[in-house]
Amino acid sequence: MSNKESRKQRTIRKAKERRQVEDAVKDIQFYSQFVPNEALNISEEISDWLNNDNNW
């Protein structure tokens, strides 16, 4: 048995990581509704981009 992960295992791992990132972004989008942008210290441009559904 080799320690090297197979292509299929790598694809599955990458898909899981991508899903985790997407879920985290959705959480940030949801909770940022309740917090003023100044408190989050993010620019208006980033805020607009995050809140634009066309970017997802």
Per residue in 2-40, pLDDT tens?
Answer: 578 899 999 999 999 999 999 999 998 898 888 766 666
Residue numbers of the domain that contains 38: 7-55
Asked whether residue 2 is assigned to any structural domain, the reply reads no
d(CA 32, CA 43): 13
Asked whether residue 14 is assigned to any structural domain, the reply reads yes
Rounded average pLDDT over 33-49: 72
Report how many domains make up the chain.
Answer: 1
> Position of tokens 């959705």?
26
The band of 47, judged by pLDDT with boundaries at 50, 70 and 90, is confident
- Report the Cα 54 to chain-centroid distance in Å: 15
d(CA 43, CA 20): 24
Higher-pLDDT residue of 18 and 1 is 18
3-state SS string for the chain:
CCCCCCHHHHHHHHHHHHHHHHHHHHHHHHHHCCCCHHHHCCCHHHHHHHHCHHHC
